[in-house]
Amino acid sequence: MAPWSHSRQPGAVALQAQAKQQQAAGDYSQATATLERALRIDAADPELWLALAQIRLAQGEPAQAADLAHRSASLAPRDTQVHQRAIELQRKAATASGRGH
């Protein structure tokens, strides 16, 4: 089976790259705002939802991270890396919030 690929919007991809730099610099609030702008461009991009989930988990918001990761997984087909990464992040978030094992 050929790998699935969402036709990503260039503007959203550029904003995701910017958010990654902001996150690396420790500016989680700005990275969140940047990803939210990207999601206004393409709300169907599972990679954007996953990136936002990762930031929420890093900010100590596991319940919100789990919800965002679930959204990412629901947008990505099951046999993709994005889907698998989203499921793994859901597990980490559940464990961090005490809802998992």
Place of tokens 């709300």: 43
Domain assignment of residue 41, given as a range: 10-97
Domain count, the chain: 1
Provide the CATH number for the domain around residue 68: 1.25.40.10
Answer whether residue 5 is part of any domain.
no
Answer whether residue 59 is part of any domain.
yes
Read off the pTM.
Answer: 0.89
6-45 pLDDT per residue, tens = 689 999 999 999 999 999 999 999 999 999 999 999 999 9
Q: Are 95 and 87 in contact (CB under 8 A)?
A: no
Answer whether residue 3 is part of any domain.
no
Round to whole Å and give the CA distance between 101 and 97. 10
43-92 pLDDT per residue, tens = 999 999 999 999 999 999 999 999 999 999 999 988 899 999 999 999 99
Q: Are 44 and 6 in contact (CB under 8 A)?
A: yes
Answer whether residue 73 is part of any domain.
yes
Round to whole Å and give the CA distance between 9 and 30. 21
Round to whole Å and give the CA distance between 100 and 5. 30
